[in-house]
Amino acid sequence: MMTAERQDKIRVRWERDGQPRSPRVDLRNIGIMAHIDAGKTTVTERILFYSGRIRRTGEVHDGAATMDFLAEEQERGITIAAAATNCEWRGVRINIIDTPGHVDFTAEVQRSLRVLDGAIAVFDAVSGVEAQSETVWRQADRYGVPRLAFINKMDRVGADFDAAVRSIESRLGARTVLLAYPIGSGASYRGLVDVIENTAVYYDEQSAGRLFHEQPIPAELAARCAALRTRMIEAAAEHDDALMEKYLGGEDPAPGELRAALRNAVVRNTVVPVLCGSALKNKGIQRLLDAVCYYLPHPLEQPTFPAETPEGVPVELRPEPDETLAALAFKTVASAGGDLTFVRVYAGTLRAGDLVYNAAQRKRERVGRIVILHADEQEAVSRLEAGQIGAVIGLKQTTTGDTLSALDRHVLLERMEFPLPVIQIAVRPRRTADRDKLTRALSMLAREDPTFHRKTDPETGETIIAGMGELHLEVLLHRLRREFKLEVETGAPQVAYRQTLQRAVDLETRHVKQTGGRGQFAVIRVRYAPVPGHDVEFSSEVVGGNVPRSYIPSVEAGLREALREGYPLGFPFVGVRAVLHDGKHHEVDSSENAFRAAARRSVRDATAAAGTVILEPMMRIEVTVPDEYVSSVIGGLNARRIAIREIAGPAGGIRVLHGEVPLAEMFGYATVLRSATQGRGAFTMEPAGFARAPHEIAERIRKEALERTARR
């Protein structure tokens, strides 16, 4: 069993096996990511228990998980907001961010991965890679985050470790290295083989899996595990010349040598170590914690990281406490008493009471209290140094993605980009007296969530809120009722369409008015063009002062406002480049307002001259369906304009359909699928960007939008 003496032996072995031990190498910033229901929060709960951070485990299905402390999370049994905590294991401090698994809250995952140095990807041993698994994996790829894979739920009926690993390799393109191999599966799951140590680990069922003992590898798994170890050595040797020489000479490397070489490969993102277990049954978590310490990088390992000045000049900063300050705000929890702003310090030291510069907003901020978080608990600290994650209370101007820097050296870190909302509804208070209260509440929610948008219809005065899906908006509406004591009424959900220009156009727009007093005069010439992506790009090529530099920001503001309003259909424009390249002004009659008005009119002129293309939100869909219902389900999906990319299976009589489908076609599909498969089918969706709507459908959308405008 796992005695205190055994713990001490492991600690001694761990300190001797090649792991760096300098005082600077004692921190890991990691996230835990997965598809919904893969067991991610349960894994986090067991990590906190085994590291001694909590004394008893709470279960997700009981609404008692430590990290799911919001009322909505406890009621629904899902993670909605990323939550931070920390623990220690073998002398290493581990900062952990537990992220949501539901696609509607993907922004929580994205902004967490932006500031983390490593991640644990949790997979269901029955389902393998699922839709949201792919989404979070791509986000980790984007930010270059090294990962470990943990195949969870090995005790489930139908668990298939090998199939889950194959899905990681084929669907995610990962090169896996198996650190563990299961002994049994489903009801017969008893333990695992530690491939590096060449030993079998059996969990004691009488202790609910919390104690274990080691034995020789079972004979039936000896050949398989020997092959896995050879593959591991080959992968590790590619990053270690001494290990390669030893391997080619026929020598078997020591576990410490293997770990050190594997760590180099993981930090370089060339391999993904795979472990297995059952978090609910307390199996495999200790070795997962060991792997976090062994293989994931510490935050000070990168010698420099890129930044730039507000003027766009590149700079490189060292991740040292005495370097100039660069801290990224990556999450805001809004509060009337002062926002809680999560920050990651990349360089320098952030101290309580300091006056700092928000380089994105170009404003000064006073740092109030600084805290370290454990779920909903706060521990006050005096400072955060390079590599550390914490939160600041009381910042007034700082929002998600802003950089805090020193007053005497302004720097900007790479901002975060979030997907556009795909669904919207009209919302109004039941009592007219609550209109201002609703406005304030929505403003607070928007500060927290960059994928939640709200606007007021200029014609009707209606408040429109938009988000990533029906569940996203449902949770936000519940928060209005629960936290802000607001009773609201809503309209039917609507698809959040976008539009872009059909072709490039170059035109001059004049805004000239004379009313007896001081007039208004502004002339601009703007070159518009459709571009890939969903950004609106603006630049100025004006020479000779035809448009004074002081008026150019007004031109940009007017253009962006009008493109966001999307006249005449009301759909915001995306994928547009606007270049101001000429114009005229008047010494007396020109003003910021005149150039702003000219810019707004310019967008209307461009829309009329270039024509527009309607873009509809597309969803990446994964449908799990019993084999006997595949034909009827495909027929129903074809009627919804799906483009099927792949049909996987059958595995255990189940097929998985992968494809893309317009969001507009998927309202009510959950009921249709349940009916068509006698309740045995299921599906998940995630945003896949925007695509040009077919002509007939675009014309119908256009006609309906113009009719709505006319009725107003």
Is the pLDDT assigned to residue 548 strictly greater than 80?
yes
**pLDDT at position 65 over 70:** no
Please state which of the ranges 51-60, 165-174, 503-512, 573-582 shows the lowest mean pLDDT.
51-60
Residue 434, burial from CB neighbour count under 10 angstroms (0-12, 13-18, 19+): middle
- On the question of pLDDT at 429 being above 50, the answer is yes
pLDDT at position 59 over 60: no
Is residue 381 pLDDT above 80, yes or no?
A: yes
Does residue 460 carry a pLDDT above 80? no
Rounded mean pLDDT, 416-433: 86
Which range, of 42-56, 256-270, 329-343, 522-536, averages the lowest pLDDT? 329-343
Indicate the range of 234-243, 309-318, 411-420, 451-460 predicted with least confidence.
451-460
pLDDT of residue 608: 94
Percent of the chain with pLDDT over 90: 46
3-state DSSP assignment of residue 426:
strand
> CB burial class (10 A; 0-12, 13-18, 19+) of residue 278?
buried
The answer, yes or no, to whether the previous bond of 419 is cis (omega within 30 of 0) is no
Give the per-residue pLDDT at 710. 67
245-303 confidence digits (pLDDT tens): 888 888 888 899 999 999 999 999 999 999 999 999 999 999 999 999 999 998 888 77
Report the mean per-residue pLDDT for the chain. Answer: 85
Which alpha helices (H) appear in 413-523, and where do they start and end?
435-448, 470-483
- Summarize pLDDT for 317-353 with one digit per residue, the tens: 888 888 999 999 988 887 666 788 889 999 999 999 9
**Is residue 63 predicted with pLDDT exceeding 50?**
no
Mean pLDDT of 305-319: 85
Residue with tokens 């009627």: 639
Burial class (CB in 10 A: 0-12, 13-18, 19+), 476: buried
Question: CA 52 to CA 89: how far, in whole Å?
Answer: 9
Least confident range from 493-497, 650-654, 699-703: namely 650-654
Give Cα separations from 469 to 1, 102, 433, 697, 705 (angstroms).
48, 10, 29, 22, 21
Rounded average pLDDT over 509-537: 89
Q: Which of 76-85, 120-129, 170-179 has the lowest mean pLDDT?
A: 76-85
For residue 5, pLDDT beyond 70: no
Q: Is 46:279 a contact under the CB 8 Å cutoff?
A: yes
Q: What distance in Å separates the CA atoms of residue 138 and residue 143, rounded to the nearest whole number?
A: 9
Structure-token pair, residue 374: 């454990």
Span 645-658, pLDDT tens digits: 988 877 767 888 99
pLDDT, position 330: 87
Domains observed in the chain: 4-295 (3.40.50.300), 305-405 (2.40.30.10), 423-494 (3.30.70.870), 503-610 (3.30.230.10), 616-697 (3.30.70.240)
pLDDT higher than 70, residue 639: yes
Contact 576, 564 (CB under 8 A): no
C-alpha span between 478 and 331 (Å, rounded): 21
What is the average per-residue pLDDT within 686-703? Answer: 91
Is the pLDDT reported for residue 437 higher than 60? Answer: yes
pTM, two decimals, is 0.74
Q: Amino acid letter at 13?
A: R
Which residue would you say has higher pLDDT here, 503 or 9?
503
What pLDDT score was predicted for residue 521? Answer: 95
For the ranges 23-32, 186-195, 392-401, 485-494, the one whose mean pLDDT is highest: 186-195
DSSP for 176-193, please give it. Answer: EEESEEEES-GGG--EEE
Main-chain phi, psi angles of 256, to 5 degrees: -65, -40
What's the pLDDT at 68?
A: 52
User: What share of the chain in percent tops pLDDT 70?
Assistant: 89
